[in-house]
Each structure stands twice: as C-alpha cells, then as structure tokens.
Amino acid sequence: MTMHIINVVAQFERDLLVERTQAGLSRVKAQGTPLGRPTTLSLAQQQIVREKIESGETVSAIARQFNTSRQMIMRVRDHA
C-alpha cells in the first residue's frame, strides 16, 4: 500500500512537470520566439552557401570556408 501511494505521488509530480513544460512552450511560441539552437550561419551566409553550391563547389570546401560542419552546409542545401 505504501508503494502504491508513493507511485501515485510520483505520477502526479510527473503530470505537473509535463503541464508546466507545455505551458512554457506555448507561451514562447505565442511570443514568436524561435525554438531550438540558433543557426551557425546567418541568412546572408546561407545565401552565399547556396550560390557556391550552385557554382559547383564541394560541400567540404564550403564547410571549411565557413568554419562549420558539412552537415550544416547540407542542411542549407536541402532547405533551398
């Protein structure tokens, strides 16, 4: 019986945590703040990356020029 009561209290705490998290996320979304990590490349840099890809430069070379990962360059390429 004691373990059952402890389990019920733990579940209640978990529900409160989820509720507060969801409330915080919806508040931030309502303010228009973007969620997640900030991008390493500005919009202007992303445009330059797209131009370099179109001109035939390799992803690795572009990544070295911007001092970022190949994956970041591929994300920019895929979102074009």
pLDDT at 38: 87
Q: What is the pLDDT of residue 70?
A: 95
pLDDT in tens, 38-80: 888 999 999 999 999 999 999 999 999 999 999 999 999 998 6
Q: What is the pTM of this model?
A: 0.60
DSSP for 35-50 reads PSPPPSS-HHHHHHHH
What is the rounded CA–CA span in Å between residue 74 and residue 66? 13
In terms of C-beta density within 10 A (0-12 exposed, 13-18 middle, 19 or more buried), how is residue 49 classed? buried
- Report pLDDT for 63: 96
Mean pLDDT over residues 12-30, rounded?
96
